[in-house]
Amino acid sequence: MPKEDQKMSQWAIFSAFFPRLLLFALICFLAAYDNAAAEPEKRVALVIGNSAYQHVSSLPNPSNDAEDISRSLERIGFQVTRGQDLDYNGMRIALRDFAEVAANADVALVYFAGHGIEIENTNYLIPVSATLKSDRDVEFEAIRLDAIVGSISDTAGLKIVLVDACRNNPFVAQMARASSTRSIGRGLAAVEPGGVIVGYAARGGTLAQDGDGRNSPYAKAILEHIEQPGLELGKMFRRVRDRVFELTDGFQEPFIYGSLPGEDIYLVPKSEPVAMQLPSNQVSNAPISDAAPTKTEDVIAAAMKTNTMRGWDLIRQKYRSVPVSEPEVLKRMTEITPDWAKERGLLLALEDTLIPGRERKKQLQDNLNDAGFDVGASDGALGPKSRTGIKELQAAHGLEQTGYADPAVLTILGMGTLQQGEDSFISNPFAVRQNAEDLDLLGESEEITRILKCLGLRQSIYGKFRGNLYVVMVYSGNLFGARNEAQKCGVDLASITSAEENAFIVRMMANDPSFFSVGYDSKTNVSYKAGPYFGFRKDPKEDNAVIGWRWYSGEPVKYTNWLPSKPNRTHGNGNKAYAQFQYEARGRRDLSNVVPTKWFDGSGGYVRSVVLEGSLQ
């Protein structure tokens, strides 16, 4: 073939295949581009919880806060590095290593829970090893907040530092001042972070509470909102602020320093609801409310957050497919019993609240035997053999081996936690801040949810007895103020008209010392334990000590339960015009485990707690 013809043939072949080659190259390029674009963003977090301080009293919550925040961040795609009870070197090394990890991250977040201090307008976060005998020691024993902000300042993406360290600081009281002009502030000072969002648990110069539950108010509020799909970051911080303000009755207000960019930022994108599927052999006939969550995970999350006996029972009744036997869920159920209750020997009292009466205890023994934990004859007496059986069950499920029946034990045995029948229940053995939104999510009745929401987030226990709602609530104020607030919510101070009703209210409040005050009257040589006030009051026009009492509700007085020799003072000369639960004993006595069941004629000025009652139609 002539060379010219050979060249023409080669060109024809090339011309024919070139468009295909070009198309193939374009497809490869676009595929590579799509793969690069589809790469998930890199999210990294450093979470530090310092609880076990070596030279001052420990903080109860930072370790819990760090653990729970870590898990929450991991669920929304963060690679989490967690530090627990870090000393000075531990904190310094953790920050150094995290700075390297965060350098090319799309989102870098640091969360610290523990003690912090402000000196001369400079903020420091305190390691567990610090002694801080002098204000000048802080430079050598604590970590500047500036260093933490600086550790992620080079990150190109979103940078967030959350500081739950504005607590009342015991180091301040013991600290000698090297200079009389050097200032030691209250809380932490305001900052100008420059490119980094810095969130304080409490506004600069104010204090934060550590909280009386598992988490601090700030950590609790973050946990409630950080995993919410479609919640814009700026709005999330505002909701956290509002929630903490509610949880602390206005004492604490979180604050954000720095500014967010103009575009919306979502830690969790908005997702479409997915219907919850029930296995065919576990379909519940109970109606599910319109407000019910649509995913099993949402149901469990709501129950874990609420973590009350009532909450878990609502799940058991309405959402039969929820795996309430999962180890993590059972572990969280054991946290219904706070550590202070375990330390004070209240486990037996809790057990009696959960399974009162011989028949319920026999049922517990029957169920233990059926589950393969031999406890002998079912006689309703929970002796050593029954205690051993309960411990073996707890060990088999990875729970703390207390030997006492708690909500987790009853759930494993299929006994639920409602102990007195459909029309009689107690929400929890210990007072909690009832979050009405969570109770609504779990399927609590509209009327109960409305009343609890109206009463606010004060610590309380609620229960239903013979068609009425009862709330035992920490109030700390004037009895008239408590009644005015209650009436606005459709309830009033309780009227106790029978021994059964009295026993139900006593069972509600029995385990929790937050409802009681304990004291000793040296004039009368009487130790006393005083509890909640209720709706029994004396007519101020009646001088007789015994007659002239009536119920606030207007019901006639057919039942009374006075202490011996009470009531013994009239309104005129003793200002004893109201009734409360009280116990009295001669001489100095330890009354920590005593439950007041009788009534005392109290003054009704400042009250620690009240019993409220309302009809449920």
Residue 503: both structure tokens together: 């026993």
| Residue 291 confidence (pLDDT) above 60 | no
Distances (CA, A) of 330 to 68, 213, 248, 427: 16, 18, 29, 17
421 plus 451 within the same structural domain: no
In a domain, 28, yes or no: no
Q: Are 586 and 449 members of one domain?
A: yes
Q: Is residue 600 domain-resident?
A: yes
Looking at the fold, whether 533 and 584 belong to one and the same domain comes out as: yes
Say how many residues make up the chain. 617
pTM for this predicted structure: 0.55
Residues 6+ away with beta carbon under 8 Å from 330: 324, 397, 398, 399, 408, 411, 412
410 and 347 in a common domain: yes
What pLDDT does residue 191 have? 56
In this structure, is residue 9 part of a structural domain?
Answer: no
Q: At residue 451, does pLDDT exceed 90?
A: yes
Is 478 in the same domain as 551?
A: yes
Domain count, the chain: 3
Confidence of residue 432 (pLDDT cuts 50, 70, 90): confident
Lookup result for tokens 């709501």: 302
Report whether pLDDT(141) > 80: yes
Residue 76: inside a domain: yes
Mean pLDDT for 68-83 is: 90
Residue 89's H or E segment, with its range, is helix 88-102
| pLDDT exceeds 50 at position 212 | yes
pLDDT band at 407 (very low <50, low <70, confident <90, very high): confident
What's the whole-number mean pLDDT along residues 254-272?
76
pLDDT confidence tier of residue 553, bands split at 50, 70 and 90: confident
Confidence of residue 321 (pLDDT cuts 50, 70, 90): low
- Is the Cβ–Cβ distance between 186 and 206 less than 8 Å? yes
Answer for the pair 117, 171: CB distance below 8 angstroms, yes or no.
Answer: yes
Distance, CA of 233 to CA of 225 (rounded, Å): 10
Give the per-residue pLDDT at 570: 53
Domain end: 238, 257, 276, which one?
A: 257
pLDDT in tens, 96-118: 999 999 988 899 999 999 988 87
Rounded to 5, what percent of the chain is helix, strand, coil? 35, 20, 45
pLDDT-above-70 percentage for the chain = 79
Please compute the mean of the pLDDT values over residues 256-278 and round it to a whole number. 63
Range from 148-157, 342-351, 521-530 carrying the lowest mean pLDDT:
342-351
**Of residues 194 and 453, which shows the higher confidence score?**
453
Q: 95 and 135 in one domain?
A: yes
For residue 332, name the pLDDT band (cuts at 50, 70, 90): confident
pLDDT of res. 322: 64
Whether pLDDT at 183 is above 70:
no
Cα gap 47→65, rounded to integer Å: 9
Query: Residue 439's pLDDT is what?
Result: 84
The neighbour count for residue 497, using CB atoms within 10 Å, is: 16
- CA gap 454, 490 in Å, rounded: 9
User: In this predicted model, what pLDDT tens digit does every residue of 459-515 receive, in sequence order?
Assistant: 899 999 988 999 999 987 888 889 999 999 999 999 999 999 999 999 899 888 889
**What CA–CA distances, in Å, run from 521 to 261, 360, 399, 584, 586?**
62, 41, 44, 10, 10
Structural domain of 536: 445-617
Mean of per-residue pLDDT scores for the chain: 79
252 in a domain, yes or no? Answer: yes
| 459 and 584 co-located in one domain | yes
* Average of per-residue pLDDT across 283-297: 43
pLDDT at 32: 45
What distance in Å separates the CA atoms of residue 78 and residue 73, rounded to the nearest whole number? 5
Asked if the structure places residue 409 within a domain, the reply is yes
Most confident of 103-117, 177-191, 210-224, 429-443: 103-117
Q: Given this model, what pLDDT does residue 502 score?
A: 94
In angstroms and rounded to an integer, the radius of gyration of the C-alpha atoms of the chain is: 31
Within this chain, do residues 404 and 455 fall inside the same structural domain, yes or no?
Answer: no
Nearest partner of 202 among 236, 241, 171, 147, judged by Cα: 241
Mark out the alpha helices in 258-295 (DSSP H runs).
Answer: none
pLDDT at 279 over 50: no
**Angle, vertex CA 63, rays to CA 236 and CA 72, nearest 5:** 35
Helix (H, G, I), strand (E, B) or coil at 352: helix
Give the CATH number, domain containing residue 123.
3.40.50.1460
Q: Cβ distance 216 to 225 under 8 Å? A: no
Question: Residues 6 or more apart from 605 whose CB is under 8 A from it?
Answer: 478, 479
Structure confidence at residue 181 (pLDDT): 38
